[in-house]
Structure 1
């Protein structure tokens, strides 16, 4: 009887040692594991991958816009009648140490500082206009922002769980699918570059909140506003908030039951609310940082046709007629030929279309046939199972909502909401669709490679 009594403490000691070893192993594995946001594990991005992404983005920009490198220019649209005169005035004023408050070279003149698209206080404009002439500064700005847009999109795609090659594909699809058709509108790339950047910084803030990450997101959102195109800035802010809400819901979904059992319902909501609160606070901080541009522009708005009292301002202008969705699968069809575009024949088919006017630039949405083919992989249950834990559902929902809003159907309602009624061009919301299709096509490509 004595032997079992002597063995029992020894067995208990061995069990305690095993539990201690298991706990140590778990802690070690937890500390070594990659961080995750919204259920998505992010692989570490090496410095060599950064270098390769930057070089790839630079090579793409040099090949696509090679004429800009040799002193060429952009023909058509608002480039020369609108943007260039503003840039001449801005450069002249800053070269004399003056703030460009008034533009006297177009019509009877207008307050240039309040005209947000002049980007009077936008840092890249301030730097480039002091280094070279107007044409070279304009070309350099376009090239720089295309390179940055590719790099930011690649980095955001990586934090969505894409591998290096798939993330580069997503960056190319997004940047060179949505922006080039809007090249004559400088705001598209000057403002649009901050869309993937702010999404990436939002994801970083959600993954591991810190003062530095909060400051970086606030600064990026503030720069987006200083770039001057408030429509894209508003769309970016809405998307970042939607991403934060979705991340909070996904991150707390698996833990909410246990937390509520021990800490109560109110405290169980904290993991859900924290990403939204952090992102919302960053948005408010960005508004304060960009107040030097926002306040004069709001004052000018009260004296313009966009004050809400003039019928000439229609927020539904620049929508995407539903028939324009055919460009996703066959942009070369007869419907999209230059002759049909000039004759505006497509606008004579009012099936489910908004009554407002539009144009082919605003209505453009194209991501390429290869990404569309990859998206059809979602029809496979095997592919969907491989995408478990990836944010493909969230991006497909956001993409669909953006297209529906781009049709202009909801503008009669949303025009009465704060922010929505300030801007025209509901088809610009398709920038969300372009990002969503790019990310999901990259996720499907990764899934197909794993399947093999």
Structure 2
């Protein structure tokens, strides 16, 4: 490898295993890999699958280098560039949940900490309230404490939000590298997850963003444990779980723990380096350590929160209607292709559900190109991780449908899950699965590009879909506008404006779809050229740029900001009192 390669390998000690169907050479082979070696490895995998065996999960380990650390830092910086006004403190995020809950809670705790004490009781809420017991305030979350002690509260809130969006992308990148994917594919996966609708539409929900950011880190540590058999990684996973217990949304914490359990069970099934009993007990022990250590480290927050919960309306019995409130409508599957087909609250054109708040719950757009690459991965890749994330995406989507399927009636009887509402939040796992599969799909393009026949078929289907939407959407909307208007309580002149509102929301949505559908088809045609079959950068960089432009333009208007004076200036009513 040479002195330079040896130094690079020693610079960063996290282990990697190569993907079962990719070349396991040094890092510079990411840019140019021998096709013959890739075909040889792929043939071995195909032979194993044909004989009923899944490929091995453990191959010759590799090491990350400083370039991976640089990519991680770059992903941390990207949200700061996208929300540059918020990053510089020129504006602050502003929405109902932020100004009514998250910002004042955090300001109260940090003001107390700056003066040298931890305020357990807040006299400013009702006639007094045990605010520390409101776990989502995150009073003891380490990263929050550091940021709020170093910065003014408005700027700290902005940077805490942007930091966790960046962490989501960075941890996803490292996880995919640990799975053996190329840097280019791993970057794509990180960008898809961090800039998906589950993040960019949820900036107002800091507690959900926080939990989602640590989810890929949890899988990263579990994967490292499976590769190296070092319990230190499980201990670190317990620390990550404690962060979720301290500050994340309870249901996101639950989903993360369930995903860790499923991932450990997956490894126990497909690994072949130990007896079945040994793998099973190791997985059970690892899960118990993660859960117990996480809960133990966060017990100072969990116990008062549990006590407050039992004294709140959340302790009352719930019915099936409550549990399925916020179910993902099957008709909203269209938003995986046209994200703002039903409008958006930011432009006052949302007409998808009676409650505008459900727009952010249903937002799970991951980009057109990543979605197609995910299908490419499912069709081509035959490794266990592809199967796992394909099944995870399918199962999570079925759970997100909630009351629209009979499955959720069974979930309603499962402890803990049976007390959670808004099933659409399972879309977070769908987005993460698509991000992983998209990265694997891009990774597989190095070994075999799609045929020109496939490109032509894709182009034809896309053209038919666009034509159908353009021709049929207006008559359908006009026919159903009266029903929608009655549902929303619109009368008189408002009823006459319904078709115009639909037109205002659909025109930019369809233009966005048509533009990026054309770019996606052009990219597949470019990648199919034999001239670029061996050069990853020739097709990977355009894919990354197209995806980034797609996701950032879709969410450009979703997060309004205002002057910091909104939080710093007492309202007139407060000044009067």
Distance change (3 Å), C-alpha of 1:181 and 1:33? closer
Unaligned ranges ≥5, structure 2: 1-14, 20-54, 449-532, 534-577
Matched, 1:102 2:121: yes
**Alpha-carbon distance between aligned partners in 2 of 1:224 and 1:366, rounded to the nearest angstrom:** 24
CA distance in structure 2 between the partners assigned to 1:413 and 1:294 by the alignment: 28
List aligned pairs for 1:2-401, cutoff 5 A. Answer: 34=17, 39=57, 41=59, 44-71=62-89, 72-177=91-196, 178-252=198-272, 268-309=276-317, 314-333=322-341, 335-338=342-345, 344=351, 346-347=352-353, 359-378=358-377, 384=380, 387-401=381-395
Change (3 A) 1:49 1:91: same
| Number of residue pairs matched by the alignment | 395
User: Larger radius of gyration, structure 1 or 2?
Assistant: 1
Could you tell me how far apart the structure 1 residues matched to 2:59 and 2:298 are?
A: 34
Matched, 1:434 2:431: yes
Equivalent position of 2:441 in the other structure: 444
Q: Which moved more, 1:388-397 or 1:299-308?
A: 388-397
Deviation at 1:412, TM superposition (A): 3.8
C-alpha change, 1:342 and 1:373, in structure 2 (3 Å) is: same
Verify the 8 A CA contact 1:104 1:110 in the aligned structure 2.
yes
State the TM-score, normalized to the length of structure 2. Answer: 0.64
Deviation string 1:302-325 (CA, Å, 9 cap, x unpaired) is: 111111336699232332111111
Task: Find the residue that maps to 1:424 and give its secondary structure.
Answer: coil
Cα separation, 1, equivalents of 2:94 and 2:60: 42
Residues 320 and 408 of structure 1 are in contact (CA less than 8 Å); yes or no, is this contact kept in structure 2?
yes
TM-score (norm 1): 0.80
Helix, strand or coil: the match of 2:144?
A: helix
What are structure 1's unaligned runs of at least 5 residues?
1-31, 260-266, 349-355
Please give the per-residue CA displacement for 1:384-428, whole angstroms capped at 9, x wherever unaligned. Answer: 2xx232511110100111111111134443233222134332211
* Partner residue in 2 for 1:18: none
Partners in 2 of 1:313 and 1:435 — Cα distance? Answer: 28
Assess if the C-alpha contact under 8 Å between 1:40 and 1:161 holds in 2.
no
Conserved 8 A contact 2:218-2:240: yes
Residues 191-223 of structure 1, C-alpha deviation per residue, up to 9 Å, x if partnerless?
A: 221111111111112222223222211111111
Alpha-carbon distance in structure 1 between the residues aligned to 2:113 and 2:208:
24
Shift of 1:369: 0.6
